[in-house]
Structure formats: structure tokens, C-alpha cells
């Protein structure tokens, strides 16, 4: 009896048919934020426009210089490193498109009750840091190592489990070269902003956001599979609560449009005038390079090939695409669709999973094209 | 007939009883964002954590150097100024707490359907720029001038009206010394981020956010009261649609707590352990200096005086307050309340208005204090 940690948490649930977004989902939506879609124009997302999802609180770190990262567990030489130590290692900068695993969740029916993203939980930044494989090589991973566990300083409760945020990668993934995992201390050439992990975070190019542990304070090599909450309970693709489920890993392909014309404040409907409208957007996939972007101006009935810009050597970042559309008076629904080198693409009807993860349903952008003589 | 601009807009409306947040409100909530409340710890809100509300799209300004600000209308010497011109004027830096006029709207019953803020639409920054009165003095305001109209580059539709965002101030307010209105080109010592008005915005210390016109491109002195949409239709306190209403102007007093302990991911309930818990938060008012912050740990039944820090010369910024609370096992509701030098304070039951403006209902923070022996 009495007041236990579990009293803070409600069970996971699905929204009832036609149930609007509730106060708990709204409290998450007003704290966390997506990319305003017009910011897809920027190759690198300006600070403050990149999506942010914080499970608990953003830790308060008034002084970076006292931050310590420990590397231990199943290793020969445990390490304790501060930021100056990390800066002395070889430095790598990688441009990475990062997307929340729950992006698109609020479009599912029934809707899993959690952070209610529509399509906007994405952003692209250049992350600078030390390759994780160098730190693990220096520590000396012992034979029999299975996983590498990353612990952040963010602390909270989730489904009754009090925890520091923890995720793992297999030793192979943690020490791989492509993608090369970074322990990052800079974002777009500046120290990490508090909400992006100040002073240290993991960056796992091509993987959904849950793998990029923020406020990183410990790396532990373990000789048995890691079964922490965020690995074994959350972030799994399941149809029913009792399924073990498949782990959420790499980012599924997705394309988004820079919304054309101008918006209505409340409906967010886009307004254009008749004639040529330059459409542009971005396409990305964490599974394989994007090879194709297509656009539909009739709600997904027919598709046209868009011009895909070269990736500029940034394999793990989104690519820009462009297409000119001749708008005619009336109501239209614009969509874009990405396909990658392994043939993965985006569905028009979304397969459902209980957590609302890895959703990559084709975006629908309602556009109103005015009559020729419509007054200003 | 046919496709007119008004087709993009739905009429203003109130949510039905128990109507959850709808897709239109959610689309605004995922783009715009509030201050994660733990960031109340920072005197100056770090970039990306300050609240953002954009009516239409964030204009894309790839090159600041070509931006032009015009000053004209009822003046003797119209001006055309670029950023270099503006930097040649005397420079003023003011620390300002900025709050959205719609903060708290989603807590009203019935809820006005618009950006659904709870309590978090606030932030504090140091804004650097030219006093507006210097620009107006140089331009030479003609006799008979009534209002000064500010036009931003953000363009959209609202309630069927296509518009660039425009707001006005009376000539007296625009040329006053306390508060001194700024044409700002820097935020916390750096160029404005895109979402905060890059490259130029108005800053009107003590006023709600709607007055601080972003992406400022024109200042026009007019000899009749300005009746633009954002002045005469929106941002008015009315009970019924047909009321003329009172204009929304200065920020009503408000106090917020840094949520103590740690949160549950979904319910956002705060968890603490028994014993002394240091409470802190911020208090501000745009009407008069804050003179008092009080805390309730019993849902507003009784109140204790918190220690209010000096304002450090920053009249227009929030002040920190502190109080130590001895937590006992059980469920508690914490609140804070600000009072200013003119005796304005915060209500426990919110007077209602149709736009959901200037809401300053006392915040309620549910806290679960665990039993002494509760396991980690």
C-alpha cells in the first residue's frame, strides 16, 4: 500500500475512436517540438528548429568542465574522460538526419497515446565528436562482450519503472565504420544545446532518435544481451501487448514537402495562385541511400519523378528534391514519396503497431489554388 | 463562386464540452513550442528553449545583408535602412521576459480553438537593437500622427483575411522611454534565429508577444487609428463575438515553478522523496515590478511567502524565487502566485474570454511523494 513509484504512471493505452488529443499528450506536445516544415529549405536545420523529444527533464548542467564520461564493464582498461580528454582524440564530423521513432504516430488509427507527432519530428545537423570505436579500442573490449550500454543523465519514470535513460547497441554496431557511431560534443560547430544532450551525446547515423543517447555519462560493455526498459519494453514493433516484438532500429524512408504558397493560421491549409509552383522537399532513409523521390498532386493516384539532388558526400543526411507543378484553381492534395537503394518505400496505408513506431505513411498536404481573379 | 481565399479558413469557434484537442490545434502544437519548465532555472533561456509562436510560415531569409527596413507614412524624411545602417545607431540591450498572449488558453472551459498553450509559452532573452524613438525622431513624425504600424514579412490567411502580419502602437507607446521599444537585431548576443524574426524584430518590453513584430520590414506612421486584423479583430478581450472588446496589451503577473523531483514520461506527474525539497521558480509582470511570490503546497488553500531575488536592474525580466518545502508521503498539488507593485495578482478561477488571451490562472503541479521505504 501507500505511495509507490508506480502510482505516477498510467498503463500504455490506445485512444478510443474519435478521441481527441488528451491533456497528457498535449503536455508532451507543448514541451517537445517538431521541425516547422518550411525549415526543410535549410540543408542544416538552424538551432531551435531541429525536432526535440525529451523523455524526462533536460538535465541542468551549469558547468561542462566537470562532466565525466566513464567507459567500463567488460573491458581491460576502464576509462574516465572529461571534455578536454575527448577533444584530444581524432575528431569526426558527420551530417546526420535524425528522426524520432514515433514520428507519424498521431496519424495512426487507433492512436497509441504518447507524444503525438504528425510528420515533423526530424532535423539535420552536423555532429562532431570522437568515433566510439576508438574509445572502445582504448578500453579494450574483452572476449565474450555482447552489447554496449549507454546511460544518460536524464532520470524519470516510465510505465512504473524508475530509470536513467539507457539504450544499447551490439558490439558490432558500436564499433562499425559505416555507420560510424560518434560520442558528439558539438552540433553545427557549437557546443551541444541543452536539449540536444549538452555536453555529450551518442550519434548513431541512420538510426531513429532513441539510439542517440543524450547527456551521455556512462558506456558499459556487457556480456549478456541488454534488457533495459528502453530496449526490451519500449521501442519495439508489436501488434499486441504480449508480443515480444521486433526492435526499432534504422530509419524507414520518408519524403516531406516544403509546404507551398502560404498557410491559413488555424487550418494550416496552403494557398497558392494558378500557374507554375516550384515544389521542393527532402528525402531520406537510414536503411540505404535514397535513390528516388516522387511527387503526387492528386492525393497519391499518380506519381511524377522529382529531380533528386546529389548527396554531396553526406550519406546519412536528407537529399533535396524539386519539381515544378502547374497549379489550377481548386483543392489539391500534394504528396511526396522516397525510395531507397534496397527498394524500401513509403506506404499509402500505414501498417499499424502498438507503439506507433517507424511510421512512414506518405504525407498529405492540402492545397487550395485560388481562381485567377481572386482578390488579394 | 469558386475557390476564394476564405475557403482556407474556418470560423473562430469554442471547443465542445470534453472535446479533445483536434488535428488543427495539434498541427500548431507540434510546430510551435513552449519553454520546457525545467529551463526556468536559466536566467537567460538558452536558444531553442524560448517559446515560439509563428502565425504563418517562418520567412526564409538566406542573406541578411539585403534586408531593408523602411520607415515612412506621416513623417518628414522617410528612411530606408539595412542592417549596417541600423548597427550605426546607438545600441541598447534589454533583458525581456516575453509571453504569448494565448498562454494558458487550453486550460479554459470552454476552450477557444487556437494554439493550445497550457502554461509554458514564455522565455527570457537579452535583445539588442536601436531604440525605435531614435528612428522615429530621425524620420520626423508629423503633427497629427496617431499610431505607428509595424509590418512583418510573414504572410498568410486568418479568418479569411489574407495579410502580412501587422500590429501598431500609439505614437506615445512607440516613442516612450519606459518601456523603451527596440528594433532588435540580436538575441543573447547573436543574430536573431529565424524563428525569432531574423534579421529584425520589434521588442516591446512588458507587452505580450503579439506586439513584438518579427521579420520587421516596414514602420509606417499613420494619422488615424490602425484597424488591421491583428489589432481590431484578433487580440481583443471579449466575451461574445459581437463585442468590440478591449485590446490585449501588457503581460499580467504570473509565477511558474521549476517542477521538482523527476517526471513520469506520460503523465508528467512529478515524483519526490520525503524530506526537504528546494522549490524555485520565476515570477514576472509587464504591468508593474513583481513585489511578491507565494507558494502553496495544498492546492491553493494556504500560501507561504517565497524569497524573491532582486531584479538585478532587469525591470522587464522575470525574478527568481525560492522556498524549501518539507515533502511528506502522499499526493500534493504545488502552486506559485505572483503579485506586482500595482497589486495585480493571479486568480485561482480564471475569468474567461473568447480568444483565450491574458490568462494567468495559478499553475497546478501534481507531485507524488513516495513512502520512506519506497524501492528505487
pLDDT tens digits, A69-99: 999 999 999 999 999 999 999 999 999 999 9
Element (H or E) spanning B133, and its range?
helix B132-139
CB contact under 8 A, A49 and B5: no
Predicted pLDDT at A374: 56
Q: Are strands B216-222 and B69-73 parallel, antiparallel or unpaired?
A: parallel
> How would DSSP label each residue in B8-38?
G-PPP-BPPTTPPB-HHHHHHHHHSB---GG
Instruction: Check CB contact of A32 with chain B, cutoff 8 Å.
Output: yes
Is this prediction's pTM over 0.95? yes
Listed in sequence order, the residues at least 6 apart from B33 whose beta carbon sits closer than 8 Å to its beta carbon are A30, A31, A32, A33, A52, B51, B52
Partners of A112 on chain B (C-beta within 8 Å) are none
Q: Are strands A262-263 and A270-272 parallel, antiparallel or unpaired?
A: antiparallel
Predicted pLDDT at B374: 56
pLDDT tens digits, B228-273: 999 999 999 999 999 999 999 999 999 999 999 999 999 999 999 9
* Cα A139–chain centre separation: 30
Predicted pLDDT at A8: 93
Using 50 as the pLDDT threshold, list the residues of chain B that sit under it.
Answer: 376
Cβ-contact B275, B283 below 8 angstroms:
no
Task: Give the distance from residue B58's alpha carbon to the nearest chain A alpha carbon, in angstroms.
Answer: 7
Which residues numbered 197-256 in A keep a CB inside 8 Å of some CB on B? none
Instruction: State how far the alpha carbon of A313 is from the alpha carbons of A150, A316, B269, in Å.
Output: 29, 9, 45
CB contact under 8 A, B262 and A157: yes
- The strand order across the sheet containing B319-327 reads B254-257, B275-284, B319-327, B307-308
CB contact under 8 A, B33 and A31: yes
Find the CB nearest A8 among B31, B195, B264. Answer: B264
Q: Which of B103, B265, B331, B370 to mutate to test the interface with A (most CBs of A within 10 A)?
A: B265
Predicted pLDDT at A47: 81
Separation CA A149–CA A331 (nearest Å): 51
Instruction: Check CB contact of B49 with chain A, cutoff 8 Å.
Output: yes
Instruction: Give the burial class of B92: count Cβ atoms within 10 A of its Cβ; 0-12 exposed, 13-18 middle, 19 or more buried.
Output: middle
CB contact under 8 A, A5 and B55: no
Which residues numbered 163-182 in A keep a CB inside 8 Å of some CB on B? none
Nearest CA in chain A to B104: A30
Instruction: Check CB contact of A364 with chain B, cutoff 8 Å.
Output: no
Partners of A38 on chain B (C-beta within 8 Å) are 57-58, 60
ipTM over 0.85: yes
Task: Give the distance from residue A46's alpha carbon to the nearest chain B alpha carbon, in angstroms.
Answer: 7
- Nearest to residue B166, comparing CAs of B211, B135, B101, B203? B211
Find the CB nearest A264 among B114, B157, B331. Answer: B157
Predicted pLDDT at A2: 77
pLDDT tens digits, B14-55: 999 999 999 999 999 999 999 999 999 999 999 899 999 999
| Location of C-alpha cell 524573491 | B308
Predicted pLDDT at B375: 54
B173: three-class secondary structure by DSSP: helix
Partners of A269 on chain B (C-beta within 8 Å) are 8
Using 70 as the pLDDT threshold, list the residues of chain A that sit under it.
Answer: 1, 374-376
- Nearest to residue A274, comparing CAs of A287, A261, A258? A261
Partners of B49 on chain A (C-beta within 8 Å) are 58, 193-195
Instruction: Check CB contact of A11 with chain B, cutoff 8 Å.
Output: no
Predicted pLDDT at A375: 54
CB contact under 8 A, B57 and A259: yes
Instruction: Check CB contact of A190 with chain B, cutoff 8 Å.
Output: no
> Cell numbers of A99, please?
528522426
pLDDT tens digits, B96-116: 999 999 999 999 999 999 999
Cβ-contact B269, B366 below 8 angstroms:
yes
Instruction: Check CB contact of B106 with chain A, cutoff 8 Å.
Output: yes
Predicted pLDDT at A373: 72
Separation CA A56–CA A236 (nearest Å): 20
Amino acid at each position: 500500500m501507500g505511495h509507490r513509484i508506480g502510482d505516477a504512471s498510467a498503463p500504455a493505452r490506445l485512444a478510443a475512436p474519435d478521441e481527441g488529443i488528451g491533456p497528457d499528450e498535449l503536455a508532451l506536445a507543448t514541451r517537445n517540438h517538431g521541425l516547422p516544415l518550411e525549415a526543410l529549405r535549410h540543408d542544416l536545420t538552424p538551432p531551435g528548429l531541429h525536432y526535440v523529444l525529451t523523455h524526462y527533464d533536460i538535465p541542468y548542467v551549469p558547468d561542462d568542465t566537470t562532466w565525466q564520461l566513464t567507459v567500463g564493464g567488460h573491458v581491460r582498461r576502464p576509462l574516465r574522460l572529461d571534455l578536454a580528454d575527448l577533444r584530444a582524440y581524432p575528431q569526426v564530423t558527420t551530417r546526420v538526419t535524425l528522426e524520432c521513432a514515433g514520428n507519424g504516430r498521431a496519424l495512426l488509427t487507433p492512436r497509441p497515446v504518447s507524444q503525438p507527432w504528425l510528420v515533423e519530428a526530424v532535423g539535420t545537423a552536423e555532429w562532431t565528436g570522437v568515433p566510439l570505436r576508438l574509445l572502445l579500442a582504448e578500453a579494450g573490449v574483452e572476449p565474450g562482450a555482447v552489447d554496449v550500454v549507454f546511460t544518460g543523465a536524464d532520470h524519470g519514470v516510465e510505465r512504473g519503472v524508475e530509470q536513467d535513460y539507457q539504450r544499447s547497441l551490439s558490439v558490432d554496431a558500436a564499433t562499425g565504420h559505416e555507420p560510424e557511431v560518434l560520442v558528439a560534443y558539438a552540433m553545427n560547430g557549437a557546443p551541444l544545446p541543452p536539449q540536444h544532450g549538452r555536453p555529450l551525446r551518442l550519434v548513431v547515423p541512420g538510426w531513429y532518435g532513441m539510439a542517440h543517447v543524450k547527456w551521455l555519462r556512462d558506456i558499459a560493455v556487457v556480456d549478456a544481451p541488454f534488457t533495459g526498459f528502453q530496449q526490451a519494453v519500449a521501442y519495439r514493433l508489436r501488434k499486441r501487448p504480449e508480443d515480444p516484438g521486433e526492435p526499432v532500429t534504422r530509419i524507414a524512408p520518408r519524403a516531406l514537402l516544403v509546404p507551398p504558397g502560404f498557410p491559413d493560421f488555424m487550418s494550416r491549409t496552403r494557398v497558392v495562385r494558378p500557374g507554375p509552383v516550384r515544389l521542393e522537399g527532402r528525402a531520406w532513409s537510414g536503411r540505404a541511400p535514397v535513390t528516388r523521390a516522387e511527387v503526387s498532386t492528386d492525393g497519391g493516384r499518380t506519381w511524377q519523378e522529382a529531380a533528386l539532388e546529389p548527396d554531396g558526400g553526406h550519406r546519412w543526411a536528407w537529399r533535396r528534391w524539386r519539381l515544378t507543378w502547374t497549379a489550377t484553381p481548386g483543392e489539391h492534395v500534394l504528396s511526396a514519396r522516397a525510395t531507397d537503394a534496397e527498394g524500401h518505400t513509403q506506404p499509402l496505408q500505414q501498417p499499424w503497431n502498438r507503439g506507433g513506431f517507424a511510421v512512414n505513411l506518405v504525407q498529405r498536404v492540402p492545397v487550395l489554388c485560388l481562381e485567377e481573379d481572386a482578390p488579394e
